[in-house]
């Protein structure tokens, strides 16, 4: 590395989730969403939050009015835009006016660094483009703004016409830009190319520079880290790597790599442990399921399934974990499956039920054999802690059901208008008392859930704090067509804890019922 990690040199984090991240297919932030994410990013401790492009749409313009009312502790809000239009004076350009009206201390403008874009996209001359850059920066500086210049398509531009690409950043720099950010906008630059280009360009830079990488070659994180090694002191990216096409550089991977492996300072002391929480929060607001296999913050990032791996981790955690998961707010997980050994089962049984089988090895072996038989039938316990815990209790004779099922019935009504409604009737024996309840919902599982809760909540008030948070269906044995078996996963939360359950049946309603009941039974055991 070019810098001694012991110096703890500062790298500034520039988050563009609200602008670049919002360009991901399937994401559409409301104004409220953007403000909530802003507060979370500020709590995490990023330096810059790019709130949006005020000239592009009314929602982004409104954001800059509303964000002033938030009590942010650290982050600088940045308004994003472009250089002036060709043939227009800066003071007359509506885009630049909107940046001033946003009333942010920092603004970020992009300008073309690839000559092909200048002549074919902007349809202007190379000299006019240089004026557009320098005049825009100068004007914004004259209005008291601190300016970050994003050299768009810089690496592609440099590959085709290095002299002109360098001229664009020199134009911004000479006009007073506070930061120059080199952008791999198409995301096609490989690390070796990036290293060569930055090394060649650094002698021309007299102000701090940053990196803005896209992930179209799956190199955005690697390129960002390499750029820091080469002297970049600002890294632009998004939470969870959200962004157009294949996404942007993932700050959830970049931040811990910089802090834990490369010795740089990014976040305030102690804030790195908030990273997993923020990652999941942004995923939830974005209405995108969290990526279980995402490095550092994914649910499976420190999950161990193979028997040999688990045995090693139980002896020495670092054997299969490259960092301590707690440092990024994550946890280790031991998955019990057909690949597991007895030690894995013993550890997982203790974790999910509190029962210690370490001195009952033969019994644990019998349980493991039964578990593998269940998995042959299609049950999958590795992400269904609730069902696993109940499996252990049943086979140890310690299971006590909440109720006895007499029957349930589900009907679905469809009107000519196309409206659907489901109705469920459940008949239970609870504490020797017969309970009959009706639930209505937008689907059969929703109706069953409502009817079941109506029957149980008066007797088990703690259920009020337990809710179903996720529902997934997997069909296997597809060769049987509509007679194939269905596996239903459900995830529950109490606000403090979360757990999963699994149900199996040829009937999707019955599989859902199994998972639903186990979710509430296990939840009452642990909350």
Give dist(CA 430, CA 439) in Å, integer.
18
Segment (H or E) for 487: strand 485-493
Question: Dihedral angle at the C-alpha atoms of 170, 175, 180, 185, nearest 10 degrees?
Answer: -80
SS3 194: helix
Confirm if 247 and 218 have CB atoms less than 8 A apart: no
- Tell me the per-residue pLDDT of 23-75, one tens digit each, with 9 for 90 and over: 999 898 899 899 999 999 999 999 999 999 999 888 899 999 999 999 999 99
Phi, psi of 364 (to 5 degrees): -65, -35
pLDDT > 80? residue 314? no
Contacts of 149 (CB under 8 A, 6+ apart): 108, 109, 110, 111, 133, 137, 169, 172, 173, 177, 179, 180, 181
Alpha carbon distance 48, 238 (integer Å): 11
Task: Identify any residues that bridge with 447 across adjacent strands, giving them in sequence order.
Answer: none
> Does one domain contain both 179 and 130?
yes
Residues 319 and 229 in one domain: no
End-to-end CA distance of the chain: 48
Instruction: For residues 31 and 98, state if they share a domain.
Output: yes
Judge whether 336 lies within some domain: yes
Domain final residue, candidates 268, 293, 318? 268
Tell me which of 173 and 321 has the higher pLDDT: 173
Pairing of strands 146-152, 179-184: parallel
CATH code where residue 120 lies? 3.20.20.70
Q: Which of 59, 17, 21, 63 is CA-nearest to residue 40?
A: 17
Asked if residue 381 is part of any domain, the answer here is no
260-294 pLDDT per residue, tens: 999 999 999 999 999 998 998 898 788 787 888 89
pLDDT of residue 4: 36
Say if 414 falls within a structural domain. Answer: no
Return d(Cα 146, Cα 473) in angstroms, integer: 51
Q: Are residues 120 and 259 in the same domain?
A: yes
432-464 as b/e: b if 16+ CB within 10 A: eeebebebebeebbbbbbbbbbebbeeebeebe
What integer is the mean pLDDT of 438-444? 93
pLDDT tier, 396 (very low <50, low <70, confident <90, very high otherwise): very high
Q: 143: how many CB neighbours lie within 10 A of its CB?
A: 15
**pLDDT confidence bin for 5, thresholds 50/70/90:** very low
User: Token pair 């953007």 is at which residue?
Assistant: 34
Q: Is residue 20 part of a domain?
A: yes
Centroid of chain to Cα 310: 27
Residue 318 banded pLDDT, cuts 50, 70, 90 = low
Q: Please determine, for residue 356, whether its predicted confidence score (pLDDT) is greater than 90.
A: yes
Q: Which pLDDT score, from 0 to 100, does residue 287 have? A: 77
Task: Look at residue 317 and give its three-state secondary structure.
Answer: helix
Q: What pLDDT was estimated at residue 319?
A: 63
Helix (H) or strand (E) holding 133: helix 126-142
- Same domain for 214 and 360, yes or no, is no
Q: What is the pLDDT of residue 307?
A: 54
Is the pLDDT assigned to residue 315 strictly greater than 80?
Answer: no
Q: Residue 145: which of 175, 173, 103, 89 has the closest Cα?
A: 103
pLDDT, position 266: 96
In tens, the pLDDT along 100-133 reads 999 999 999 999 999 999 999 999 999 999 999 9
Give the DSSP letter of residue 489.
E
Which pair of tokens denotes residue 190? 């490989």
Is 336 in the same domain as 194? no
- Examine the domain organization and report whether 260 and 357 are in the same domain: no
- The last residue of one of the domains, among 242, 268, 294, is 268
What DSSP element (H or E) covers 387?
A: helix 385-395
**Most distant CA pair in the chain, distance:** 87
pLDDT at 334: 60
Q: Residue 417 pLDDT > 60, yes or no?
A: yes
Same domain, 191 and 317: no
What tokens were used for 213? 């990488």
User: With pLDDT > 70 as the criterion, what percentage of the chain qualifies?
Assistant: 91
Cα–Cα distance, 438 to 131 (Å, whole number): 71
Whether residue 322 sits in one domain with residue 262: no
Number of structural domains the chain divides into: 2
241 is a domain residue: yes
Whether pLDDT at 8 is above 90: no
How high is the pLDDT of residue 311? Answer: 57
CB 383 within 8 A of CB 505: no
Task: Examine residue 29 and state whether it is found in any structural domain, yes or no.
Answer: yes
What pLDDT score was predicted for residue 414? 85
CA distances from 523 to 124, 160, 280, 379 (A): 65, 61, 22, 20
User: What's the pLDDT at 3?
Assistant: 38
Domain boundary among the residues 251, 268, 285 is at 268
Same domain, 264 and 307: no
Structure tokens at 88: 């227009």
Instruction: Decide if 224 contacts 211 (C-beta within 8 A).
Output: yes
Q: Which pLDDT value is given to residue 501?
A: 94
Same domain, 130 and 15: yes
Task: Between 5 and 362, name the one with better pLDDT.
Answer: 362
73's CB contacts (< 8 A; 6+ apart) are: 42, 43
List, in order, residues 6 or more apart from 526 with CB less than 8 Å away: 389, 497, 499
Mean of the per-residue pLDDT values of the chain: 90
- Check residue 56 and give its pLDDT: 84
User: Quick one: pLDDT band at residue 2, thresholds 50, 70, 90?
Assistant: very low
Poorest-confidence range of 54-68, 299-313, 361-375?
299-313
Residue 309 in domain: yes
Q: In angstroms, rounded to a whole number, what is the distance separating the alpha carbons of residues 291 and 284? A: 11
Domain membership of residue 229 (yes or no) is yes
Q: Helix 58-66 to helix 31-44 angle, to the nearest 10 degrees?
A: 50
Residue 6's pLDDT is 42
The two structure tokens encoding residue 418? 């196309």
* 40 shares its domain with 115: yes
Q: What are 226-250's pLDDT values in tens digits?
A: 999 999 999 999 999 999 999 999 9
Q: What is the pLDDT of residues 451-503, one digit of tens each?
A: 999 999 999 999 999 999 888 887 766 555 556 788 899 989 887 788 989 99
Structural domain of residue 215, as residue ranges? Answer: 5-268
Write down the pLDDT at residue 284.
77
Q: Which of 61-70, 174-183, 427-436 has the highest mean pLDDT?
A: 174-183
**What does the pLDDT look like over 159-172, one tens digit per residue?**
999 999 999 999 99
DSSP 418-442: S-EEEEEEEEEEETTEEEEEEEEES
């Amino acid at each position: 590395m070019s810098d001694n990690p012991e110096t703890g040199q500062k790298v500034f984090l520039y988050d563009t989730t609200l602008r670049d991240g919002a360009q991901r297919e399937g994401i559409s932030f409301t104004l409220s969403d953007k403000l909530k994410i802003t507060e979370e990013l500020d709590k995490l401790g990023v330096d810059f939050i790019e709130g949006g492009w005020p000239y592009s749409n009314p929602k982004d313009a409104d954001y800059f009015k509303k964000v002033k009312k938030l009590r942010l502790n650290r982050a600088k809000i940045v308004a994003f835009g472009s250089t002036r239009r060709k043939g227009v004076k800066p003071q007359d350009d509506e885009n630049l006016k909107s940046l001033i009206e946003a009333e942010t201390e920092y603004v970020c403008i992009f300008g073309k660094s690839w000559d092909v874009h200048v002549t074919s996209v902007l349809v202007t001359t190379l000299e006019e483009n240089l004026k557009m850059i320098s005049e825009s920066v100068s004007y914004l500086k004259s209005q008291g703004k601190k300016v970050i210049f994003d050299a768009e398509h810089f690496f592609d531009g440099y590959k085709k016409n290095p002299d002109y690409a360098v001229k664009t950043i020199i134009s911004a720099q000479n006009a007073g830009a506070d930061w120059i950010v080199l952008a791999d906008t198409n995301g096609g630059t490989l690390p070796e190319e990036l290293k060569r280009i930055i090394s060649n360009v650094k002698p021309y830079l007299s102000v701090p520079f940053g990196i803005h990488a896209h992930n179209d070659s799956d190199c955005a994180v690697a390129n960002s880290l390499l750029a820091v090694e080469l002297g970049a002191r600002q890294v632009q990216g998004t939470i969870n790597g959200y962004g157009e096409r294949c996404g942007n550089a993932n700050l959830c991977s970049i931040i811990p790599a910089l802090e834990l492996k490369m010795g740089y300072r990014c976040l305030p002391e102690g804030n790195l442990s908030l990273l997993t929480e923020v990652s999941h929060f942004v995923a939830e607001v974005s209405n995108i399921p969290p990526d279980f296999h995402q490095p550092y913050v994914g649910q499976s990032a420190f999950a161990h399934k193979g028997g040999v791996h688990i045995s090693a981790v139980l002896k020495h955690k670092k054997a299969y974990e490259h960092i301590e998961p707690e440092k990024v707010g994550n946890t280790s997980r031991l998955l019990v499956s057909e690949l597991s050994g007895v030690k894995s089962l013993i550890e997982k049984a203790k974790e999910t039920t509190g029962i210690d089988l370490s001195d009952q090895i033969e019994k644990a072996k019998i349980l493991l054999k039964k578990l593998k038989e269940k998995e042959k039938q299609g049950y999958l316990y590795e992400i269904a802690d609730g069902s696993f815990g109940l499996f252990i209790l049943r086979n140890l004779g310690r299971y006590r059901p909440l109720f006895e099922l007499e029957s349930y019935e589900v009907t679905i009504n469809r009107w000519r208008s196309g409206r659907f409604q489901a109705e469920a009737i459940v008949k239970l024996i609870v504490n020797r008392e017969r309970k009959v309840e009706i639930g209505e919902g937008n689907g059969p599982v929703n109706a069953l859930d409502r009817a079941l809760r109506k029957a149980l909540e008066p007797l088990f008030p703690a259920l009020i704090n337990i809710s179903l948070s996720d529902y997934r269906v997997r069909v296997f044995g597809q060769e049987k067509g509509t007679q194939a078996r269905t596996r239903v996963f459900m995830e529950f939360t109490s606000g403090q804890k979360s757990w999963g359950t699994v149900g199996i049946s040829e009937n999707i309603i019955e599989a859902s019922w199994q998972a639903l009941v186990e979710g509430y039974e296990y939840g009452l055991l642990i909350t």
